[in-house]
Amino acid sequence: MDTFVLIAITGIGLGALFFLVASGLSLIYGLMGVLNFAHGTFLTVGAFAGLWISTQVFTISNTWTFVGAMLFGGLAGGVFALLVERLVITRLYERHIEQALVTVGVALVVGAMLSGWFGNDPRLLPTPHWFINTVTIGKAFVPVDRFLYIGASLVLLIVLTSILRFTRIGLIIRAGVENRSMVGALGINVRLAFSAVFFLGGFAAGLGGVLVAAYQSGVTPLMSGSWLIYGFVVVVVGGMGSLGGSALAALLIGVVNQFTNYYFPGVGDFVIVFLLAAVLLTRPQGLLGKVGR
Amino acid sequence: MLRWKYSRPLLGILILILAIGPMLSFGMLKEPGIQQTLAVAFLYGALALTYDMLFGFTGLLSFGHALFFASGAYVTAILIDSYKWPWYIAIPTSIATSAILAVLVGSASLRTKGITFAMVTLAFGEAGHVVISRNFGNLTNGENGLPINADRVPGIFIGVINTKYLFWLALAVLIFVYAAIWWVTQSSAGRVFSALRDNEVRTSVLGLNPNRYKLLSFVIAGTLASVIGSAMLLVSGNAAPRYATADTTIALLLMVILGGSGTRWGAALGGILYSIASTRLQDLNQGKALASLPKIISGPLSEPAFILGLLFIFIVMFAPGGLSGAYYRIRLRFLQRKGEKTASIPV
């Protein structure tokens, strides 16, 4: 029972990190139809920004500096995403394949720049001392940091949902996901919603980058590789453009991955792909996706 | 119409030079190092061609194409090394296995379209990479790659002195793949591929089953990729896990975009140039050519991906059609100046 609790919470924590990557991907795809291969770069840029502020600006490392690093990483990821959207993606308006291609190029170039400047060796991100503590739930010793990932994702889910639900820009985004051309035809500036979605997605990914760096204890230019692929899987399983679907799918995939890896070491990633194939064969639009897009 | 009338004879002469080059006692082609670089480049050119059929002709943006390249190399290596099969049985078995794999992966992922298809094939490709790098069943030797047992390969492919045979093998594979792709894309099925790329709804209204043709294209491309994978196993001497990564497929995409998609020769040229460029740029990095520059510039410049990525972004944004597109545009202008009214750019 105690291992069960431990694995379940670790799985939820992992799912929380997946959600941070996938939420932006899902919104960007849902609204603009862009398959964003540069999303992993947003994560890496956020992680490097978090690393920079925690080592160069903050002299100590406590809870508040870590929260600061998370927010700063998120901001860096968001601003970077905004730049990519403004400078590159809008110029290829409505040409989805080319947009996907150009994000591949951005990912290559930025990855190469970071490798060239910082090398590919992992750099340790300072974390508050309580990160290594555990709490006892029942008889299980659960590392505290898992709860941080879950908490951060929950907060982000609430914030994103509130933005989508209660603000004007959120309304435009939701309408755009439903039918973009109609929103444009009504004279509403959809382009503004594009930028907002890229900023929010970049923010989530950048914040996720800082947390991923804490989770796998290091920042490298190559850190985003498998996270991006998991992000894609989560988006497809959850349903394109559905934030709730992404959250559900991220949770499912995180937990399934951890349990499989515990009982059959090394098989976890493989089972995820089977899960993906099963979802595609039975429900091609994803768990909470809408038909007929 | 746009083809230059001397282009085919010139290509024939070029192939003849390449074929004779290693036998001569002078010229660059007698160096084993250059033979090896070119052999790898030819195989990447051939691989880019198969990807061009998938992406440029059929319009399928697959991010899992490397899977079949890797399965061609790995299944051959496993059959030869672990099961002691002779190479002339191992290679056809490996190709057949890859073809079946392509049918399975293709029929599952083709339930989706467009961008979702890209994501799904990416996930399947990554699963292949995981299987290889985690060393399931102790068959793939994990991250270290699987070197081929030299005793079980024809002697003419072993040793530096015999690099010229590998060079000829790679050249033959390139010509074979080129001919196969040419034949497929010119056939009636190939015309349906292009029709699907241009307008899938209209094609299905004409009574043609889109998924059947897409699967055909996917399987042919995958099978040819496994042929190239087996050749790569001989040329490079081992099966490496990076063959199966998404980075390999992304490199293929770069090659095709660089050379220009949907023209065959563009993709082959793009693959050859890309392969040579990334090898040479790496040498540049190891040399001292960049040492005098400040690190903020020399760092990124020493990464081949930086220059190739910038070039890629430039081509996608400002010069669609890549090298072959540029060639056709120049040729078109030349013909129009000569007064030819009917000249137009082929798709």
Q: Identify which of B312, B121, B276 has the alpha carbon closest to the alpha carbon of residue A110.
A: B312
Residue B147: beta bridge partners? Answer: B238
Task: Assess B293–A contact: CB distance below 8 Å, yes or no.
Answer: no
Q: Are B116 and A232 a contacting pair at CB < 8 A? A: no
User: How far is residue B70's CA from residue B224's CA, in Å, rounded to a whole number?
Assistant: 12
Task: Indicate the DSSP class of residue B54.
Answer: I
- Judge contact between A77 and A28, C-beta under 8 A: no
The single-letter code of the amino acid at B45 is G
Distance of CA A217 to the CA centre of its chain: 18
Closest CA to B312 of B249, B238, B259: B259
Side-chain half-sphere exposure of B10, counting CA atoms within 13 A: 5
Closest among B175, B64, B46 to B125, alpha carbons compared: B64
- Check whether B347 has a pLDDT greater than 60: no
First to last CA, chain B: 12
- Chain B's closest residue to A37, CA to CA, is B119
Q: Which residues contact A91 (CB under 8 A, 6 or more apart)?
A: B317
Which token pair is B150? 């030299």
**A105/B111 touch (CB, cutoff 8 Å), yes or no:** no
Please give the pLDDT value at position A292. Answer: 46
- Token pair recorded at residue A141: 């010793």
Per-residue 3-state assignment (H helix, E strand, C coil) for B294-339 = CHHHHHHHCCHHHHHHHHHHHHHHHCCCHHHHHHHHHHHHHHHHCC
Beta-carbon contacts of residue B179 (< 8 Å; ≥ 6 apart): none
pLDDT attached to residue A79: 96
- Does an H or E element contain A140, and which? strand A140-143
On chain A, the residues whose CB falls within 8 A of the CB of B301 are: 116
Q: Do the bridges between strand A134-137 and strand B238-239 make them parallel or antiparallel, or are there none, so unpaired? A: unpaired
> For residue A109, which residues of chain B lie inside 8 Å, CB to CB?
300, 305-306, 309-310, 313
Mark yes or no for CB contact A92/B317 under 8 Å: yes
Look up residue A14 and give its amino acid. L
Residue A160, CA distances (Å) to A46, A151, A173 in order: 18, 14, 11
- Could you tell me if B299 lies within 8 Å of chain A, comparing CB atoms? yes
Please provide the CATH number assigned to the domain covering B30-337. 1.10.3470
The Cα–Cα gap between B62 and B131 comes to 19
Q: Are A271 and A258 in contact (CB under 8 A)?
A: no
pLDDT tens across A75-112, in order?
A: 999 999 999 999 888 888 777 778 888 998 999 899 98
Q: Collect all residues of chain A within an 8 Å Cβ-Cβ radius of residue B246.
A: 229
Contact list, A232 vs chain B (CB under 8 Å): 119, 122-123
CA distance B244 to B226: 12
> Any idea which of A29-38, A266-275, B293-302 has the lowest mean pLDDT?
B293-302
- Give Cα separations from A224 to A106, A145, B308 (angstroms): 14, 20, 20
| Cβ pair A27, A164 in contact under 8 A | no
Average pLDDT over every residue of A173-178: 82
Q: For the segment A200-248, what is each residue's pLDDT rounded down to a tens digit?
A: 999 999 999 999 998 887 888 888 877 888 888 898 888 877 888 899 9
B284 interfacial to chain A (CB closer than 8 Å): no
pLDDT band, residue B300 (cuts 50/70/90): confident
* Interface test with chain B among A18, A86, A104, by most B beta carbons within 10 Å: A104
- Backbone dihedral angles phi then psi of residue A136, each to the nearest 5 degrees: -100, 120
| pLDDT of residue A156 exceeding 80 | yes
Q: Which of A197, A287, A282, A205 is nearest to A251 (CA)?
A: A287
Cβ separation B316–A101 shorter than 8 A: yes
Q: Which of A106, A232, A235 has its CB closest to that of B313?
A: A106
Q: What is the CA radius of gyration of chain B?
A: 21
Of the candidates B225, B242, B58, B265, the residue with the CA atom closest to the CA atom of residue B133: B242
Higher pLDDT residue, B341 or A131? A131
Per-residue 3-state assignment (H helix, E strand, C coil) for chain B: CCCCCCHHHHHHHHHHHHHHHHHCCCCHHHCHHHHHHHHHHHHHHHHHHHHHHHHHHCCCCCCCCHHHHHHHHHHHHHHHHCCCCCHHHHHHHHHHHHHHHHHHHHHHHCCCCHHHHHHHHHHHHHHHHHHHHHCHHHCCCHHHCEECCHHHCCHHHCCHHHHHHHHHHHHHHHHHHHHHHHHHHHCHHHHHHHHHHHCHHHHHHCCCCHHHHHHHHHHHHHHHHHHHHHHHHHHHCEECHHHHCHHHHHHHHHHHHHHCCCCCHHHHHHHHHHHHHHHHHHHHHHCCCCCCCCHHHHHHHCCHHHHHHHHHHHHHHHCCCHHHHHHHHHHHHHHHHCCCCCCCCCC
For residue range A34-62, list pLDDT tens digits in order: 888 899 999 999 999 999 998 888 877 78
Which of A7, A225, A207 is closest to A108 using CA atoms? A225
Q: How far apart are CA A217 and CA A211, in angstroms?
A: 9
User: Quick one: pLDDT at residue B342?
Assistant: 60
Any A CB within 8 A of B250 CB: yes
pLDDT at residue A195 tops 50:
yes
For position B291, what pLDDT does the model report? 64
CB A193 within 8 A of CB A32: no
Residues of B in contact with A270 (CB under 8 A): 127, 130-131
pLDDT (tens digit, 9 = 90+) per residue, B150-206? Answer: 777 777 777 777 788 888 999 999 999 999 999 999 999 999 999 998 888 999 998
For the beta carbon of residue B130, count every other beta carbon within 10 angstroms.
Answer: 21
Alpha-carbon distance A195 to nearest alpha carbon in chain B (angstroms): 19
Are the Cβ atoms of A280 and B109 closer than 8 angstroms?
Answer: yes
CB contacts, 8 Å: B296 with chain A: 117
Q: Per the CB < 8 Å rule, is A269 touching B123?
A: no
Q: Do A280 and B130 touch (CB under 8 A)?
A: no
Interatomic CA distance for residues B245 and A100, integer angstroms:
18
By Cβ distance, the residue of A113, A232, A270 closest to B306 is A113
Q: What is the pLDDT of residues B1-22, one digit of tens each?
A: 577 778 888 888 888 888 877 7
pLDDT, position B290: 62
Within 8 A of B299 by CB-CB distance, chain A residues are 113, 115-117
Residue A293's pLDDT band (cuts 50, 70, 90) = very low
Nearest C-alpha neighbor of B254 from the set B308, B306, B307, B327: B308
pLDDT value at residue B7 = 80
Report pLDDT digits (tens) over A104-128. 899 989 998 998 888 888 888 888 8
Neighbours of B10 (CB within 10 A): 10
Per-residue pLDDT tens digits for B304-313: 788 888 888 8
| B287 or A192, higher pLDDT | A192
A291 neighbourhood in chain B, CB within 8 Å: none
| Interchain CB distance below 8 Å, A229 and B250 | no
Alpha carbon A269 to its chain centroid, in Å, reads: 18
Contact B293, B235 (CB under 8 A): no
User: Which residues in chain B are closer than 8 Å to A116, comparing Cβ atoms?
Assistant: 298-303, 306
Q: Is B334 on the interface with A (CB under 8 A)?
A: no
**Range scoring the smallest mean pLDDT among A77-91, A257-271, B90-104, B285-299:** B285-299
Q: What is the pLDDT of residue B23?
A: 75
Pick from A128-132, A255-259, A283-287 the range whose average pLDDT is largest. Answer: A255-259
Amino acid at A181: S
Structure tokens at B231: 């050749």
- Nearest residue in chain A measured CA to CA from B312: A105
Number of A:B CB contacts under 8 A? 122
Inter-chain CB proximity B250 and A104 less than 8 Å: yes
**Distance from C-alpha of A193 to C-alpha of A172, rounded to nearest angstrom:** 6
Q: What is the mean pLDDT of chain B?
A: 85
Q: What is the pLDDT of residue B340?
A: 64
Among B246, B250, B309, select the one facing A109 at the smallest CB separation: B309
Residues near B342 by Cβ (< 8 Å), separated by ≥ 6? B1
The residue of chain A nearest to residue B294, with distances taken between CA atoms, is A117
Q: pLDDT value at position B132?
A: 87
Domain ranges (residues) in chain B:
30-337
Q: Where are the beta strands (DSSP E) in chain B?
A: 146-147, 238-239
Q: How far A65 CA sits from the closest chain B CA (Å)? A: 28
